[in-house]
Chain A
Amino acid sequence: MESTQWLLVANAAVWLGIGAYLFLLARSQQTLDRRIRHMEMLGDDK
């Protein structure tokens, strides 16, 4: 593999890692929003 390819692979690894973490954060936020909506619905029923 050429030097440029090693650089690009390392760069891609960084963005894949950060992208994966951002995806996990988005999923976590969705779960929180769902729980809040659920609690609001329970509150409205009372």
Chain B
Amino acid sequence: MRTNRLSPVMPLVGLVAGLALALCQYMIFVYAPVEQTMGIVQKIFYFHMPLAWWSLISFFTVFAASIAFLRTRNWKWDALSGAAAEVGVLFSGLALVTGSIWGRHSWGVWWTWDPRLTTTLVMWFVYAGYLVLRTLDLPRERLGTVSAVVGIVAFLDVPLVFLSARLWRSIHPAVFASRGGGLEPEMKTTVIACIVAFGFLWAALTWLRAAQRRMAARIDVLATETTI
């Protein structure tokens, strides 16, 4: 049966992601120097920022795949938007958790209603709601259309998250807002390596989950045909 075939490239992407993340951990704990003002806790930045960036890319993928689905009615786009939303909620959730731990150490509070933090939390709830919506018991065509429309509208909050630290008075730093971000060369190399490593992880997870969703949809169709 064609349904249980996964692309041979997928395990390779997963392997590269694993190796890249191991290198990223080495660079965080051994290679990158300790920042003078904040101390060693600043190293949370090396996974906090890649998680936040890839979650935004995830939600852009939901937006683009939802448009593609409405235009083509091809279910592969629906599977991709569902998968990207799941990974985006995971990554933005982890960015919120790591940011909260960092904030507790640096600001003395677990949470503050800062524009960047608030817009990120709103974004997390919007996409968590989108995932709940996808589980509703509706006819497949209708659910696909409703999910795609919500996937497009939900993206409205994403540029706000990105620009919030620049537009409003925020205690959250706008990373790379100034030229080079004021990072030491070793720090910059580490952050770039971690962005690439988490990118591979994002690709592997999204790809695998989208393949699972396509497989599940095909099994559902086959099961319906068998019963008919």
Whether both chains belong to one complex is answered with yes
Q: Do A11 and B47 have beta carbons less than 8 Å apart? A: yes
How far apart are the CA atoms of A32 and B223 in the complex, in Å? 12
The chain A residue with its CB closest to the CB of B95 is: A14
Q: Note all chain B residues with C-beta closer than 8 A to A32.
A: 4, 212, 215-216, 219
The chain A residue with its CB closest to the CB of B14 is: A22
Interface of A is mostly: helix
Count of interface residues, chain B, beta-carbon cutoff 8 Å: 35
How far apart are the CA atoms of A40 and B3 in the complex, in Å? 11
Chain A residues close to B by CB (< 8 Å) = 3-4, 6-7, 9-11, 13-14, 17-18, 21, 25, 28-29, 32-33, 35-36, 39-40, 42
Chain B residues close to A by CB (< 8 Å) = 1, 3-4, 25, 28, 39-41, 43-44, 47-48, 51, 86-87, 90, 93-94, 97-98, 101-102, 104-105, 201, 205, 208-209, 212, 215-216, 219, 222-223, 226
14 contacts between A and B (CB under 8 A): A3-B39, A10-B44, A10-B48, A10-B101, A11-B47, A13-B101, A14-B98, A17-B97, A18-B201, A21-B87, A32-B216, A36-B219, A39-B226, A42-B226
